[in-house]
Each structure stands twice: as C-alpha cells, then as structure tokens.
Amino acid sequence: MDWNTIFVTTVKASIGLETVVYALAAIGVNIQFGYAGLLNFGQAAFLGVAAYGLAVIVSTFGLSFWLGIAVGLVATVVLAFLLGIPTLRLRADYLAIVTIAAAEIVRLVFRSVAFKDVFGGSDGRQNFSGDFYAMNPYAPGSYGIGPIKFDERTTWVLTVGWILIALSCVLVYLLMKSPWGRVLKAIREDEDAVRSLGKNVFSYKMQALVLGGVIGCLGGFIFGLGQASIQPDLFGTEFTFYAYTIVILGGAARVFSPVVGAAIFWVLLVFVGNTLSEAVGAGVFGSAITVTQVGSVRFILVGLGLMLLLIFRPQGIFGDKREIALDAR
Amino acid sequence: MHADTTVTSKKAAALAAFEGIDSEPGVPKPDPILVIEKVVRRFGGLTAVDVDHVEVQRGSITALIGPNGAGKTTFFNQLTGFDTADEGSWSFNGKPLRGVPAHRVARSGMVRTFQLTKALSKLTVMENMRLGAQNQRGENFFRALIPGSWRGQEDEITERAEELLERFKLAAKRDDFAGSLSGGQRKLLEMARALMVGPELVMLDEPMAGVNPALTQSLLGHVKDLREEGMTVLFVEHDMDMVRDISDWVIVMAQGTVIAEGPPDTIMSDNRVIDAYLGAHHDAPMSVEEAEEQLQEAEAELEAEIEEKA
Ligand SMILES: Nc1ncnc2c1ncn2[C@@H]1O[C@H](COP(=O)(O)OP(=O)(O)OP(=O)(O)O)[C@@H](O)[C@H]1O
Ligand SMILES: [Mg+2]
C-alpha cells in the first residue's frame, strides 16, 4: 500500500476545492439553519443559479466575467425572495418543502432539452473561466510545502476561495455578536416571543435567507471556476444534505464549525476512499470488495463515523453541551 | 418601595376615575386607552370570542377574569395581532389596530406576555432582556457590522436591564441560559422583558401562575409600581385574592362574551359572575337543593372574604 500517496491526497483534501465549496455552502446553511432556524433544503440551487449565471453569461452569450458574477449574485437574491416571500410567514416546515422542491426544479431546468442552447443540457457549460485564470498572479509552476503541491491554476482558485471563506467568517462573527444576530437567534427559539417584543420577524428571516444564499453562491462560483466546467447534476439534493452534515458535524451556530466540518468531512471521505482503493488493489480484502464498490463503501464507513460522533458528541465538534441539555427540559 | 397600605396618588386617581361608573358591561370610561368596539373570533363552529363594547381606563390596573375556556387568551391574541379576528374593530390611543401585525402593535406601546411562557431558552437571561429594547441601532444589518455604532446604546440597554433584573430577583441568573430557569423564574423574566419594550399598556396573561406565594407578593408590588410609573395594566388571573388586592376594575368574561364589569369588591357578588363560575347551566345533573346549597355556600364564602378585607 502506498501510504505516501494516501497521506498527500488526504492533506490536499483538507484545503482542496471540495472543502472550499462545501465550506462556503455550509457557512450559508449555518446562518439560515444554525442561527435563524430556517430549514433551507435548497442550498444546492443557490450555488447552481450562481454558477450557471456566470457560465451562461460568459460562455453562452460571450459577455464579460464580471457581468457574469453580477448576474449570478442577482439570480441568487431573486431566488431567495421567490422562495422566501410565500413561505417565511408560514410554519418552518413549509420552507423546507418548498426549497427542496425548488432546488430540484432548478436542476431539472438546467439539464432540460428545451433549454439546451442556454444551459447546455446534462453536459452543462464550459469555457467561462478564461478571464478568471487570466487574472492569475501565480507564475506557471507548483506551489506548496514538501510533497503537498498544487499547480498554479488550483493555487489561484484556492487562494480566492479561502479569502472568501475568511471574509465570510468575519462577517458572520461580527453579525452574530451584534443585536442583529441576537434577534436571529431569538427567532430560532420562539418567533412569537420575538414578535411580541416589536421585531419584524419576517424581515429578519428574509435577511438570513438572502445572506445565507449569497455566501453559498460564492461557493457556486468557486465550484464552476475550479473545475472550469459545470454540470447540472453537481447541484442535486445530496449536495445540500452534505452541507447540513458538515454544519452538524462542526456544531450548529458556531462561526468556524462549517469550515472545520467541511475539512473533516472531505478528509474522511478522501482518506477512507484512498485507503480502501489501495487495500483492494493490494488484495487485502480478497474478493469481498471490488474496486467499483469502493465509492459506496467509503460513504457507508464515513456515515457510520458520523453516527458515532453524533451519539457521543451530539453538539458537534464546537458545540456547547449545555445547549443540547436544554432541549431535554 | 411599594408599601402595601399606602394609597398612592396614582391609585387614588385610578379609583377616582372609576367613581360613580355603572357596573354594566361595556360602560364608557372617562379616559380609555383601549377601546374595543367589537371582536369576534370563531374556530369552526365554536365562537371563542364575541365581545361587544369594552373600554380600558388609562393608568388603571384592570383584571380580566373568567372560567377556563372563557376566551380570555383568545381575546388577548386578537387585540395584540397574534391572531386574525373574524370581525370587529378596536383602537389603542385612538389608533385603529385591527389587521396591524403583532410587532407593530408592540411598537405602538401595547405589549403582552403569554400564558405558556416563552423564554428564549438558548439565549442568556441578559440577552433575553436586551432583546426587548426598541429602536436598537445594532439590529440593522449594516450597522450591526460596525460595533462602534451600537456599543453605546447597548451599554445603556444593559444598565436598564440590570435594574429590572434586580427588581425581579433575577440578577444572580444574569448569565445563565433562560432555558435553565424554573417555571416561575421564566414568568418573571418574561414580564421583565416585556417592560424592556417601554410599553404604555402591559397585557399579562396569568403572570402569577406557578410563582411561589412569597414572590407573588413582590410581583404584586411590581405590578402596582407599573401603575405608579404611569403604565396601564390589563391582566388575566384566576387567583381572586390577587385580583382583589391589586385591581381597580374587573372585567368578567364567560363563553366568549363580557358578562359583567365593576369594582373588585362588588363584582364577586354579582349574580351573573357567580352563575358563570359555578355554572347556572351546569352540565352535570344536579338537584335543585344541591345547587341552592352550593350557591349559598359560595356566596357566604365570598362575603366573608370581602368583610375580612374591609
Ligand atoms: N386555535 C384554536 N382552535 C380551536 N379552538 C380554540 C383555539 N384556541 C382556543 N380555542 C377555544 O376557544 C375557547 C377559549 O379559549 P381560551 O384559551 O381563550 O380560554 P381562556 O379563557 O384563556 O382559558 P384559561 O383560563 O384556561 O386560559 C376554548 O373553548 C378553546 O378550546
Ligand atoms: Mg388563557
């Protein structure tokens, strides 16, 4: 077994593209679900409309990169209002139902034959990241420490991605220790009490939905740019559920939990996956597991690990045990 | 500070305002803060609230009493915008309130508490209190990002909250999660938090339920203090001793309607009230003698209590 390769890929995963994308998506979910108690099960759609907004403007219509970013952002905000206006006055579960359905609608529209000319069907879009890499300050070569190295393109995407994560964390930190964040956390506990104290609950929920969507949409941009292509099926419901897993793994309503949660989640997946592949290659399991089954087995093992974590540490990594204890009262 | 026996100026003023007012449902008051023309709320076939004209006198402590299921909480919900009435119109300080959302009602100075306490469990006691303050700069998204813009105001709010917590005997719990408080302490916190809003009219739904007798005494004092500070109090309560002790006026509801109004010492001997509580239309079969006996017992008891007070 090649432990060196396993080690290198695992360390790279901890700061790699997937971690960045999922961390941004999870920071958004943490604002909505962790702080405000909103069940947005359509986070994938927020990343999707942003990534497609950029890709369509640049590759379908041949317009500029920055216009693409602007369109992606506007599309995200519009989606938040479309989902929020009819549902945020109702009970919490309505938002969950509407968002999960809307996310599937968005994905199916992206991959539909009818709009193939615009969205590219199931092949998605390519050729929209040129302007982004033209801004790359890194000279061709590889960057990193020891064996942990990325090429200049990846280094550039990761640099931008981690700057966005840092800015998002600062934003969340400032907001959540302000009176604005206090209103949000209070809404999560009991909306009616907050109303009785003269706060416009609907407006705060909408702000949380938009903010979480916009931070998630940055992940959509990074996803598209990092792969230099997008396909509709990247934005399926499992994407959203991974983001929720990450938030709960890290501990809901903590500033850094989505970031650390995302890193741990991907490190686990990559480590377990690579170790299994190597082991199967070396014939450790005989014929019990074949190479094609490794993908599924790693999810089974990681899922098992997460279950154990939640049993023994229900508050997540950064959570406060006392808060969990309050729920039992 | 709230000596039980001193008849303070505000109390005297409130009592004077009620001088010579008929004990009839819907009787006009000299200076009403809340005027209800009509409120109707139906749940399917059940008419939970069907109240005709009622007025609440400014600067008074008015009790709203009635048997379980009389519609008191539902009535509160309509007035404060937590439910949508089927019919009716009512005004607070002359401003019509029907259809106004709950948060606007609170901002206009009419703040309520809930029968089933709503402590915000995962916020500390202090954060619960701070949340009540109005016009907070830091509650605006953009200003929230600049701590300097709201720190000063936050300090003032904290100071005000600390005074109230002191008064409500919760100062020691300042940094505990509200969810860790006992049921009675939550009642206290909810009342203190409502006062942080700076209301003109405080509507308390069973503020004393579950609070121990010693604390009830001091809470009664606090409610009287509210009147001294110029606030109007409308409260729902089942404990008749307490009603008699602090209220200037009593409104009685039964089966969704206001059946009687009057000063606390005479209202309890009103036949309509006795009927409502003991059930002139009692469901269970009861012989005429039994009913007569029960009625006399109750009347004697009430009279004895009133005399004891006098
Ligand atoms: N949401 C609802 N749906 C159906 N019926 C309701 C609803 N809310 C209240 N009711 C009914 O309306 C009537 C009045 O209820 P309400 O809670 O106002 O009584 P209450 O006077 O506050 O009683 P208590 O003193 O026990 O608190 C009851 O018969 C109750 O069953
Ligand atoms: Mg009630």
pLDDT at position B4, please? Answer: 47
- Cβ of A196 and B150 within 8 Å? no
Q: Chain A residues with CB inside 8 Å of B77's CB?
A: none
Q: Does B192 touch chain A (CB under 8 A)?
A: no
Where is pLDDT greater, at A19 or A311?
A19
Q: Report the nearest-CA residue for atom 18 of ligand 1.
A: B71
The span from the CA of A50 to the CA of A36, in Å, is 23
* Predicted confidence (pLDDT) at residue A83 exceeds the cutoff of 60: yes
Say how many residues make up chain A: 329
pLDDT at position B5, please? Answer: 47
| Domains of chain B by start residue, with CATH | 2-118+201-216+226-309 (3.40.50.300)
Where is pLDDT greater, at A131 or A326?
A131
**What mean pLDDT is predicted for residues A84-112?**
91
* Predicted confidence (pLDDT) at residue A290 exceeds the cutoff of 60: yes
**What mean pLDDT is predicted for residues A56-84?**
95
Residues 6+ apart with CB under 8 A from A171: A215, B145
Point out the residues of chain B with pLDDT beneath 50. 1-5, 282
The span from the CA of A57 to the CA of A70, in Å, is 10
The span from the CA of B105 to the CA of B82, in Å, is 10
Say how many residues make up chain B: 310
Asked whether B145 and A174 are in contact (CB, 8 A), the reply is yes
* Predicted confidence (pLDDT) at residue A178 exceeds the cutoff of 80: yes
Q: Report the nearest-CA residue for atom 10 of ligand 1.
A: B48
Q: Chain A residues with CB inside 8 Å of B134's CB?
A: 198
Looking at residue A26, its amino acid is A
Nearest ligand atom owner, CA of B82: 1
The span from the CA of A19 to the CA of A24, in Å, is 9
pLDDT at position B280, please? Answer: 57
Which residue in A179, A190, A201 is closest to B144 by CB distance?
A: A179
Which residue in B127, B134, B179 is closest to A182 by CB distance?
A: B127
Per residue in A297-329, pLDDT (tens digit) is 888 888 888 888 888 888 888 888 777 777 666
Q: Report how far apart the first and last C-alpha atoms of chain A are (Å, whole number).
A: 51
A73 membership: H or E segment, kind and range? helix A65-87
Asked whether B256 and B72 are in contact (CB, 8 A), the reply is no
- Cβ of A196 and B141 within 8 Å? no
- What are the angstrom distances between the C-alpha of B262 and each of B51, B135, B147, B231? 16, 38, 52, 20
C-alpha triplet A142, A145, A146: angle, nearest 5°: 95
Which residue in A200, A201, A322 is closest to B177 by CB distance?
A: A322
Q: What is the share, in percent, of chain B residues with pLDDT greater than 90?
A: 47
Predicted structure pTM score: 0.89
Asked whether B69 and B111 are in contact (CB, 8 A), the reply is no
pLDDT at position B268, please? Answer: 79
What pairing do the DSSP bridges indicate for beta strands A148-151 and A142-145? antiparallel
pLDDT at position B1, please? Answer: 45
Token couple for A56: 């369509």
- C-alpha of residue B70 to centroid of ligand 1, in Å: 7
Residue B72 Cβ inside 6 Å of ligand 1? The answer reads yes
**Residue that is written with structure tokens 């939550």 in the block:** B186
**What mean pLDDT is predicted for residues A55-79?**
95
Best-predicted range by mean pLDDT (A51-55, A86-90, A316-320): A51-55
Interface of B with A in 122-181 (CB under 8 A): 122-123, 127-128, 130-132, 134, 136-141, 144-145, 147, 150, 154, 177, 179-180
Residues 6+ apart with CB under 8 A from B156: none
Q: Compute the nearest-CA separation of A209 from chain B (Å).
A: 13
Helices (H), B19-144: 72-79, 102-107, 125-132, 141-144
- What are the angstrom distances between the C-alpha of B149 and each of A6, A169, A199, B132, B231? 50, 21, 20, 19, 31
